[in-house]
Amino acid sequence: MAQLWGGRFTKETDQLVYNFNASITFDQKFFHQDVRGSIAHVTMLAAVGILSEEERDSIIEGLKSIVADVDAGTLQITCEYEDIHSFVEANLIQRIGEAGKKLHTGRSRNDQVALDMKLYIRDEVLAVQKCLIQLMQVLHKIMQEHIHTYMPGFTHLQKAQPITVAHHMGAYMEMFKRDEARLSDIYERMNYCPIGSGALAGTTYPLDRNLTAELLDFYGPTLNSMDSVADRDYVIEFLSALSTIMMHMSRFSEEIIIWNSNEYQFVELDDAYSTGSSIMPQKKNPDIAELVRGKTGRVYGALQALLTTMKGIPLAYNKDMQEDKEWTFDAIDTVKGCLTLFSGMLDTMKFNVPRMEASAKHGFTNATDAADYLVNHGVAFRDAHGIVGQLVLYCIEHQCSLDDLTLDEYRAVSPVFDSDIYEAISLETCVNRRNTIGAPGPESMQAVLAVDEQYLQEEAKNVSKKGSGCHE
C-alpha cells in the first residue's frame, strides 16, 4: 500500500478498507492535470523562496519523466497506490530522492484534488464545446442546402403548417447554441484556482496564489479556502449542461427515428450509421439515434447522483466527495461520444425531398393560408376558420388535398374564392411569405444563416484560444 499518511496509525489499514477508500482506479483519469498542477505549485514555491531553483528543476524534471514513461507505457498506474497523488509523489521520490518529498509543501490533497478536478472539467468543457461546434457546422450545412426543401411542421405529432428542412434544422441549431453558451458561462464561473487553500484553512507558508493561478491560466485565486475545497458546483453545473445537451439530442433522435420509419420515409440513414436484424433481412435500424436517446438517462443519472451526494455534506471537505468522479467521467465520455456519432449520422443522412413535400401538401398544412386568403378578401377570421374546416372535411371524405379541389368546389362552400386561391395555398407561397424574423421564409432564413456563420467562426476561435492556454 502506497499512501501519503500513516504516522499516527499503529497498524496497517485493512485491505478491504484500503480498497474501499482508494480512488486510483478512476482518478488516474486526471493524471496529466495532477502533474500540471504540481509543476505550477513547485514553480510558485521556488518563486517565494520555499524551494531552491535546483530543487524546483529537479522536481519538474522528475515529474516530466513520469509523464513521459506513463504515456509511453513503460510505467503503469496500479492499485498499489491509493490515488493518483500518491502515485505521482511516490514515483517522484523514488526518482529524485529527498527533493521529491518537498512536492507537497503548502498544500493538502483536499485543495490538490479540487485543483485537479477543476483543471480536468475545464479541459472537458472546451472539448464538449468543440464537439458541439462540429455538430452545429453539420446542421449549418444542411440548412444551407435545404432552404427550399418543403416539409410539414408538426404540433402534437399532427401536421400543422408547411416549413422547410432548413427551418426545422434551425430549431435544433438554436438549442445547441444555447448549450454552447451555457458551457461558456460555466467556464467563466469556474475559472478560479483553489490550490493554496490547504485542507480548509489556508496555510502558514507565504504562498503566492496569484502566481499559481496565472501559471495555470486561471483568472485568479478563489477567495474562501473552505469553499475552495468543498465546492463542486461547477461539476453539477457541467452535468446539468450535459444533461440538457443529451435532452436536445434525444428529442432530435426521436424525430429521426420517426422520419426513418416506413410510414414516414422522410430520411434514409447511411449504412455506416445503421444496423440490421439477425432474423429479419429487410431491417435497417436507426441504432445510433436509439442509443443516443437511451444514453440520455445515463447522463441524467450522473447529475442526480451528484446532487444527492452533495446535499447533506457539511463544510468543508468530506470523503463523500470522492464520489463525484466516476459519474462525471462517464457522463463526459458518453456525451462526447454521442455528439461525435450524432454529427456523423446527420452529415451522411439523406432527405427524401419528394416524400416530404408530398406529406406537407396532403396533410392540409396550407389550411391556415386558405383561411388567411379569405380574411384578406374581407371575411372575418372566425368565419374563415369555419369555412376552411368544412373544406378540409370535404377533402377527407373525398381523399384529396386542398390543392386538388376545383374552383367550383371551393365556391360551393364560399363564393369569395377565386382562381388565385391555388397560388395562395401553394407550398412555395405558404413558406415564402413568412419572412418575419425567425420564420421559414427564404429571406429570413438567409439572414439567420449569415448570423450562424459568424457565430460559428467566432466561437471556434474563442474555444481554440482558451484551449491553447489550458493545454500548455
Q: Please say if 197 is a catalytic residue.
A: no
Burial (CB count <10 Å: 0-12, 13-18, 19+), residue 72: exposed
> ∠ CA(383), CA(389), CA(395), 5° rounding?
145
- Measured CA to CA, the distance from residue 151 to residue 457 in angstroms comes to 29
| Active-site pick, 277, 398, 468, 471 | 277
Residue 361 contacts residue 426 (beta carbons within 8 Å): no
- Measured CA to CA, the distance from residue 123 to residue 155 in angstroms comes to 39
Q: Torsion angle, CA of 273/278/282/284, rounded to 10 degrees?
A: -20
Q: What is the secondary structure of 362-398 as a DSSP string?
A: TTTTTHHHHHHHHHTTT--HHHHHHHHHHHHHHHHHH
Q: 277 in helix, strand or coil?
A: coil
- Measured CA to CA, the distance from residue 249 to residue 294 in angstroms comes to 11
Residue holding cell 520555499? 50
Q: Count CA within 13 A, CB hemisphere, residue 154.
A: 9
- Measured CA to CA, the distance from residue 288 to residue 275 in angstroms comes to 9
The partner residues of 267 in beta bridges, in order of sequence, read 351
Burial (CB count <10 Å: 0-12, 13-18, 19+), residue 279: exposed
- Measured CA to CA, the distance from residue 293 to residue 286 in angstroms comes to 11
| Active-site pick, 52, 146, 148, 156 | 156
Q: Please say if 156 is a catalytic residue.
A: yes
Q: Which residues are catalytic?
A: 156, 277
